Amino acid sequence: MLFNLRNLLNAATLRKSSKQLVQHFRSGQPTQTNVNLKGRDLLTLQNYTAEEIKYLLWTASDLKQRIKDKGEYLPLLQGKSLAMIFEKRSTRTRLSTETGFALLGGHPCFLTTQDIHLGVNESLTDTAWVLSSLTNAVLARVYKQSDLDLLAKEASIPIVNGLSDSYHPIQILADYLTLQEHYGYLKGLTISWIGDGNNVLNSILMSAAKFGMHLRVATPKGFEPDPNIVKVAEEYSKEYSTELFFTSDPLEAASGTNVLVTDTWISMGQEKEKAERMKAFQGYQITMQMGKQAASDWTFLHCLPRKPEEVDDEVFYSPRSLVFQEAENRKWTIMAVMVSLLTDYSPQLQKPTF
């Protein structure tokens, strides 16, 4: 018994110390930067500073230009494998991660609930230990944020939040990259969220102010974001001198904005609430009429999949809609996350303006 206990303690110590042991790969002369994310988890953008989030976007822009525009081959993840745990189905998260990881020379392994039941047939702790010995990182798309937190606590490899009921950080990275590409900057932009107080909004609340962006939020009464998350967002707003405004009136939230954003009104697991939610969200559809309240250069974002009651066809398929560019950028941003957490790579191209 004493021998087994000693082995467990030694293994725990080894896992903690090995969290930082990740294979090196450099390409060209790295740009000078003080940011080093190697070995980190990405559970929520609350855990990342403004400079660290900007670094991820810079890396995404760098990879996109070098691989897509210049046709360079960058096997930055050669010899590495990624466990992809999906309790919730997804088109963009799965394809962007699988194709992006493979494009960089790595091997993604897709695991559904038919392959792995977190905490059911095997404890989360045991799963974290096993995956740490077989793969280099885990991307998990789950229901409970607490499952991700426990995986990160027990694993010796980076854990990335592919979506939880609380946060969707990798979606927001794609949103910000899209806005930076379109406007040429982020600081000073106003984002208006028109919809449910869900995980996507929570991730915006945890990050927008760090770029100097203002945020106006309209949610129906009873569908507001988590008060604890709002409290943190209010502290960020004060720290970075940005506007943070909440209302239940969509037109008031849209006033003077640069970006109109919405998402599904009925997330996975909320299907039984459909009738109640459809009634509560009446008047929340994004239309050109609503756009008249916004700034003249307003654009539209949606993480997809989209339903017509959330945004009408006139807006969704208009030049103001950036949704398909946004979807593509899911790939470049998740590639940036994986490269940053698993290698020593630094962006080679000039840092964009944020």
Helix/strand/coil (H, E, C) string of 304-332? CCCCCCCECHHHHCCCCECHHHHHHHHHH
Task: Say yes or no: 313 and 257 in one domain.
Answer: yes
Name the one residue in this structure whose structure tokens are 């009446």: 282
**Per-residue pLDDT tens digits for 41-76:** 999 999 999 999 999 999 999 999 999 999 999 999
Residue 16 falls inside a structural domain:
no
Residue 261 falls inside a structural domain:
yes
Report the distance separating Cα 351 and Cα 354, nearest Å: 9
* Overall domain count for the chain: 2
Report the distance separating Cα 335 and Cα 76, nearest Å: 10
109 is catalytic: no
Q: Are 136 and 157 contacting, i.e. CB atoms less than 8 angstroms apart? A: yes
Task: Say yes or no: 336 and 224 in one domain.
Answer: no
Report the distance separating Cα 151 and Cα 138, nearest Å: 9
pLDDT higher than threshold 60 for residue 21: no
Residue 39 falls inside a structural domain:
no
Task: Say yes or no: 138 and 182 in one domain.
Answer: no
Task: Say yes or no: 121 and 206 in one domain.
Answer: no
Residue 253 falls inside a structural domain:
yes
What pTM was estimated for this model as a whole? 0.90
Q: Which of 269, 295, 268, 46 is closest to 167 using CA atoms?
A: 46
Task: Say yes or no: 182 and 323 in one domain.
Answer: yes
Q: Which of 263, 297, 313, 344 is catalytic?
A: 263
Q: Which of 182, 175, 185 is closest to 211 using CA atoms?
A: 185
Task: Say yes or no: 87 and 211 in one domain.
Answer: no
**What is the predicted pLDDT for the residue at 27?**
43
Task: Say yes or no: 79 and 183 in one domain.
Answer: no
> Domain containing 297: what range?
170-266+279-328
Share of the chain above pLDDT 90, in %: 83
Task: Say yes or no: 71 and 123 in one domain.
Answer: yes
Task: Say yes or no: 310 and 164 in one domain.
Answer: no
Residues contacting 82, CB < 8 A, separation 6+: 97, 101, 106, 107, 108, 109, 135, 136, 137, 138, 139, 338
Backbone angles phi, psi at 191, to 5 degrees: -105, 135
Task: Say yes or no: 63 and 163 in one domain.
Answer: yes
- Listed in sequence order, the DSSP H helices in the chain are 2-18, 50-63, 92-103, 124-134, 145-154, 169-183, 199-205, 227-240, 250-254, 274-280, 288-291, 313-316, 323-342
Task: Say yes or no: 178 and 324 in one domain.
Answer: yes
149 is catalytic: no
Instruction: Tell whether the torsion through CA atoms of 33, 35, 36 and 42 is positive or negative.
Output: negative
Rg (alpha carbons) of the chain, rounded to whole number? 21
Residue 104 falls inside a structural domain:
yes
Q: Which of 303, 312, 313, 344 is catalytic?
A: 303
- 337 or 1, which is more confident: 337
CATH code where residue 55 lies: 3.40.50.1370
Task: Say yes or no: 315 and 223 in one domain.
Answer: yes
**Per-residue pLDDT tens digits for 233-274:** 999 999 999 999 999 999 999 999 999 999 998 876 777 788
pLDDT higher than threshold 70 for residue 298: yes
